[in-house]
Structure 1
């Protein structure tokens, strides 16, 4: 038996929202590489075009999954081409550049963050469930959250609130539809170097040596890190009794808390040893 056969995913149908770039694109490519039939919903036409060229067998659909009509159109396209759905990856999410004190945020900010981080998960999941049940073989729903759902993050309170809500939704839905054999889990990535959050190249030159000290596994995340977790959760053979859980893809950051390695690589400190991180713009840049 080959490694791909051992996964039991060949021929399965997966939908990845926001599959045109970043983690979503990595998930789509990894799923396709093990023989899955992949559908991508992507709002950005240029990203969709590039992804479709890289994955010529994929069903590529330009859609805004915050809009119910677009979601219905995506499901209709999957039904017409495949007849059912086995795996749903709700990947879309963004902090929309809203980086300010809570008291300075507005109801419009809250609504925008809600629609892209939680509302679309409700829309897509509700619309997908009949197609998942149509497979007759259970299924897997994977929600992309963030490490910030499990720790405080100042100046992003509303964003973190909606990401934290994904945990409650994931657990409760897992209990609700478990009798149908459908598993529901989440992935919580730490800072991942993507088009949305450019991490590595924004580290100030004077601090680049500190990268190996910031996380127990000394680097920022890569899209393939989360894609591997999604593959695990998609496979009934690997994770058939895993439901209602969140896999933290964080290089050990949450376990470390505030602890970082000191420059000697041996001792640890919980006091700041750097002047800037890899994703917050520095003054004057």
Structure 2
């Protein structure tokens, strides 16, 4: 799968899924732009990409700030003359997990900024650059499986993730006549610095992981990066307005788990917790 001659922007590309995406597109021959808020992460991914021979442009950009995003769009355009792929990767539950009754306006505003509003900001700023490249360019969003199932005490986060599906479908219709595709990925829990799964699940419960997820493990950042490359590539040339669930079969399981004897049950008898919400 080659992206030679293509320009890709990854938001939040300094760590985790975003970094995996940036490195995967770079390895496939793309010129890679990264928007990363954290200066240390920005420097680290810049050095990693350049060491791998990638033509990289890394900006210390807070994607929730329109003026910074607009300035970075101008920089990308001046350097690369347009954009072929936008990966809207930024999103975070911000550690806010509590009953809906306890949410304050500030909690809701912060979650809105990081999980939905910034997607609007970035996409609006980058659309002129995508239109310059025209048919064949694409937008790939990174949402969450939590936008498709319930998650207690994260009602606001899940609501904004669900909203991304409406955004993806509607924008796909608008941009279809221009040949610009819009899709998203909905990952299950993935091992990243933001969500260190191994540390979040108590050691005594690690043996349950193969029973919680049909494919027997949590996700790796590379799993999502591979899906992003597919959706942005000509292999997905007739795919738009859809969501690719990269979740090890978790959503399909819909509450079914394997018990210690290997049988399937929708009434698990596992004691203790995985994640505490």
State whether TM-score is above 0.5: yes
Deviations 1:248-268 (A, max 9, x none): 011000000111111123x11
SS at match of 2:111: helix
Instruction: Quote the Cα distance in structure 1 between the aligned partners of 2:119 and 2:39.
Output: 21
Q: Report if the CA contact (8 A) 2:134-2:180 is conserved.
A: no
Aligned pair partner of 1:10 in 4, 8, 17: 4
Listed as ranges, the matches of 1:122-271 within 5 Å are: 122-235=120-233, 237-265=234-262, 267-271=263-267
- Supply the distance in 2 between the matched residues of 1:128 and 1:52 (Cα, whole angstroms): 21
Q: Is residue 20 of structure 1 aligned with residue 14 of structure 2?
A: yes
Q: How does 1:15-164 map to 2 (within 5 A)?
A: 15-56=9-50, 57-164=55-162
Gaps of 5+ in 1: 1-6
Distance 2:139 2:129 in 1: 12
Q: Which whole-Å deviations, capped at 9, do the CAs of 1:13-32 have from their partners, x for residues lacking one? A: 00000000000000000000
Measure, in 1, the Cα distance between the counterparts of 2:271 and 2:47. 41
Please state whether the residue corresponding to 2:195 is helix, strand or coil.
Answer: coil
How many residues of Structure 1 are paired with residues of Structure 2 in the alignment? 272
Q: Distance in 2 between matches of 1:116 and 1:137?
A: 29
Per-residue CA deviation, residues 94-138 of structure 1 (Å, 9 max, x unaligned), is: 111111000100111111000000001001101111101111333
What secondary structure does 2:161 align onto?
helix
* Residue 273 of structure 2 is aligned to residue 276 of structure 1: yes
What's the CA shift for 1:240? Answer: 0.3
Q: Secondary structure at the match of 1:55?
A: helix
Partners of 1:201 and 1:160 in 2: CA distance: 23
Aligned-partner Cα distance in 2 for 1:133–1:101: 43
SS for the counterpart of 2:219 is coil
CA-atom RMSD in angstroms:
1.1
| 2:16–2:193 CA contact under 8 A, matched in 1 | yes
Give CA deviations for 1:131-162 in whole Å, capped at 9, x if unaligned. 01111333110111100000011100111111
Give the secondary-structure state (helix, strand or coil) at the position aligned to 1:141.
strand
Question: Which structure 2 segments of 5+ residues have no match?
Answer: none
- Tell me how far 1:40 sits from its aligned partner: 0.2
Q: Distance in 2 between matches of 1:12 and 1:50?
A: 23
Report the Cα distance in structure 1 between the residues aligned to 2:192 and 2:276, rounded to whole angstroms: 14
CA–CA separation in structure 2 for the residues paired with 1:37 and 1:177: 23
Determine helix, strand or coil for the equivalent of 2:191: coil
Q: Which runs of 4+ in 1 moved over 6 A?
A: none
Secondary structure of residue in 1 paired with 2:276: coil
Contact 1:23/1:223, CA 8 A, preserved across alignment: yes
C-alpha displacement of 1:221: 0.5
Separation of aligned partners in 2, 1:60 and 1:191: 27
Q: Separation in 2 of the partners of 1:178 and 1:13? A: 20
